Every structure is written in C-alpha cells, then in structure tokens.
C-alpha cells in the first residue's frame, strides 16, 4: 500500500514505506526449503549452493533445479525476497520467494479490518439515530424517571 498513491496520502505512504524498509530478510534456508516445496523438488536447488542443507550433486542424484542461485537475496521486502539465478539452459531469472506465513498474516489483517469496519458502521448508525429527535422520542416509554441520589452515609 505504501506505493499506492491512489489509496493512501503521500505522508501515509512515506510512513508505510519506512515500515516496509525496516522489515528484515528471512532465513535463506527457509527460502530454499520454500523453493523445493513449491517446485516439488527433492534434489539440490542449485549447483552453486552448498549452504542450503542439501548436498551438491553426486552420481545418481537428480540435477539441480538451477545452475546457479545467489547465496543472499538481491532484494528483500515485506512480502518476499528475490534471488538471482540461472536456469540449467542458461536463462537468467529472478526467483521471488514469498515470506513464510504471509497468507495467514494477510488473512488475519483483513479479518481485523472487517471487524473494525463493522464496529464503525454500527457506531455510525447509532450516531445518526441519536441525532434524530424523532427516533429518540419514540424510544422513551412515558415520562423519564426523576433522578434520585443515594443517601449520604
């Protein structure tokens, strides 16, 4: 949302951008595991990667998914981080890996927003009714009781 000037003011976009920039990268091992799971790959992710927990290719093992993949992400943001890679046919690619648990977090954020909006809508209706003297008058059955104060001890 920080970059959506059609949705937020320039000032809010700047503040959201600061939060986005402050988001650190997540573990490279988690990123490599995510790549394996998403591609349904049980072999090494890249021939050039030894840190990911998988051994480099040995005789009889499947070929790596990528010829090369950077050890560290070339970019990291609030939603994902990106690695530079080369496919086995030599094509250079950017491999974007979504932050773990992101779908659940976004779902929770929108659930909370819907609850807040629901509450605001109720307050809005109650405020409009409170400003309508006819509605207030109809809600009173008979004269208002006299206010009494408890006796002093």
Q: How much is the pLDDT for 2? A: 60
* Mean pLDDT of the residues in the chain: 80
Give yes or no for a contact between 67 and 46, defined as CB atoms under 8 angstroms apart: yes
pLDDT 10s digits, 77-131:
778 999 999 999 999 999 999 998 888 888 998 999 999 999 998 888 888 877 7
**Residue 51 confidence class, pLDDT cut points 50, 70, 90:** very low
More confident call, 59 vs 134: 134
Is it the case that residue 66 has pLDDT exceeding 90? yes
More confident call, 93 vs 25: 93
Q: How much is the pLDDT for 147? A: 61
Which structure tokens are listed for 94?
Answer: 């950017």
Query: Measuring CA to CA, which residue among 96, 38, 54, 2 is closest to residue 46?
Result: 54
Query: Measuring CA to CA, which residue among 34, 40, 13 is closest to residue 102?
Result: 34
């Amino acid at each position: 949302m920080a970059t959506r000037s059609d949705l937020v003011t320039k000032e809010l976009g700047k503040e959201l951008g600061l939060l986005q920039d402050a988001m650190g990268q997540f573990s490279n091992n988690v990123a490599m595991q995510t790549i394996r799971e998403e591609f349904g790959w049980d072999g090494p992710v890249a021939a050039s990667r030894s840190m990911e927990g998988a051994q480099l290719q040995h005789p009889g093992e499947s070929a790596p998914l990528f010829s090369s993949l950077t050890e560290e992400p070339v970019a990291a943001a609030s939603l994902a981080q990106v690695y530079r890679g080369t496919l086995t046919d030599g094509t250079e690619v950017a491999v974007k890996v979504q932050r773990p648990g992101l779908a659940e977090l976004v779902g929770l954020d929108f659930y909370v927003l819907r609850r807040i909006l629901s509450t605001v809508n109720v307050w809005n209706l109650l405020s409009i009714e409170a400003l309508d003297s006819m509605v207030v008058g109809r809600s009173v059955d008979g004269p208002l009781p006299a206010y009494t104060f408890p006796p002093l001890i």
